[in-house]
Amino acid sequence: MFESIAIVGATGAVGRLIRQLLDERDFPYSKITFLASKRSAGTSIAFKGEEHEVKLLCPEAFDDLDLAIGSTPDDVAAEFCPWAVERDCVVVDESGYWRMDPKVPLVVPEINPEAALNHQGIISSPNCSTTQMVLAMKPLHDAGKIRRVIVSTYQATSGAGVQGQADLIDGSRSFLEKQDYEYQAFAHPIAFNLIPQIGSHKEKGYTSEEMKMVYETQKIFGDDSIKVCPTCVRVPVENCHSESMLVETEKKISAEEARELFAATPGIKVIDDLEAGQYPMPANCSDDDGVFIGRIREDLSCENGLAFWCVSDNLRKGASTNAVQIAELLTKSQASV
């Protein structure tokens, strides 16, 4: 058991969920500390019936801490993680800053739990759109070895933070009332619209969000031969990312076999009855840690292809839940020593 733990970025949306999950999952510890920037330091957080003062995020804050779970912007993570490691505090980091560092394991516990145990002080949690995709890929890769994935994402505004949510709600209201609205989180109106760009321009016409899905997938599976062709789209949905996936495997897997493989995989929930109109939708997948899969069918254009629909709460399994699961892995490994 880690005696003393901390949540870094404790007052943010994901930080609040991490607090909730630590309570719900009865995560073991003796002392907990909440850390945040100057803007939030000094405020109070209620946790397990007690009031806790939010402490300032600074190097000395990690003195005597054993574990920190961080949900901060990249530039903040770049600074605070070394502070923690220098003081023998292990960090489970949600930011994108450390994910592709060769010395830092990138972990989804259902896929590569062993990687978490080979850390050098920092363990990274993947991008939310990557996390649900790779979990859906896992049973198919084990059964038939995946050659390539074509994926189109339909990403909720909660992925852009609190301001993204405000842009959706206030922008939609203004649109209906025929009033002007100045968007803050998005370069284009999100109300009644789709924006086929998430992140900055990177290579060969792909965005930074799309390239995360390529490189993070290969790192998590430890297999650079897996080809990923992503298109990431922001949609006017409040929460839960959806993905349309086409997977090509070396060994043919039928739709029925795939359905059985998905159903047997921890963390995956199958809702797949087209005739009855039953399939995953963001409206019924929020506030759940599962990766939901439906519309499972064989590809009409590729002999060894499978097409399916995948939905997951991007603030839970895509962020906070995965981080807490990594922390639980570390705790269990300590107990077994």
Torsion of CA 318, 321, 324, 329, to 10 degrees: -90
- Per-residue model confidence (pLDDT) at position 179: 97
Do 93 and 169 lie in a common domain? no
| 220 pLDDT tier (thresholds 50, 70, 90) | very high
Q: Which of 119, 141, 241, 285 is catalytic?
A: 241
Model confidence pLDDT, tens digit, residues 154-185: 999 999 999 999 999 999 999 999 999 999 99
User: How far apart, in whole angstroms, are the C-alpha atoms of residue 81 and residue 74?
Assistant: 11
- Per-residue model confidence (pLDDT) at position 335: 63
Do 110 and 189 lie in a common domain? no
Q: Say which CATH number the domain at 324 has.
A: 3.40.50.720
Do 215 and 81 lie in a common domain? no
Model confidence pLDDT, tens digit, residues 276-288: 999 999 999 999 9
**Can you give the residue range of the structural domain that contains 326?**
4-125+319-336
Do 262 and 143 lie in a common domain? yes
Do 182 and 71 lie in a common domain? no
E strands, the chain, are 4-8, 31-36, 44-47, 50-53, 55-56, 67-70, 90-93, 122-124, 146-155, 227-234, 241-249, 268-270, 291-298, 305-312
Statement: residue 337 has pLDDT above 60? no
- Whether 42 and 54 have beta carbons less than 8 Å apart is answered as yes
User: How far apart, in whole angstroms, are the C-alpha atoms of residue 279 and residue 256?
Assistant: 16
Model confidence pLDDT, tens digit, residues 17-55: 999 999 999 999 999 999 999 999 999 999 998 999 999
Statement: residue 90 has pLDDT above 60? yes
119 has catalytic annotation: no
Do 141 and 69 lie in a common domain? no
Do 305 and 327 lie in a common domain? no
241 has catalytic annotation: yes
Give, in order, the Cα–Cα distances in Å from 321 to each of 148, 184, 316. Answer: 27, 28, 5
Model pTM?
Answer: 0.95
Do 83 and 205 lie in a common domain? no
Q: How many percent of the chain have pLDDT more than 70?
A: 99
Domains identified in the chain, total number: 2
Do 77 and 153 lie in a common domain? no
Q: Which of 81, 89, 128, 232 is catalytic?
A: 128
Do 199 and 108 lie in a common domain? no
DSSP string for 208-238: HHHHHHHHHHHHHHT-TT-EEEEEEEE-S-S
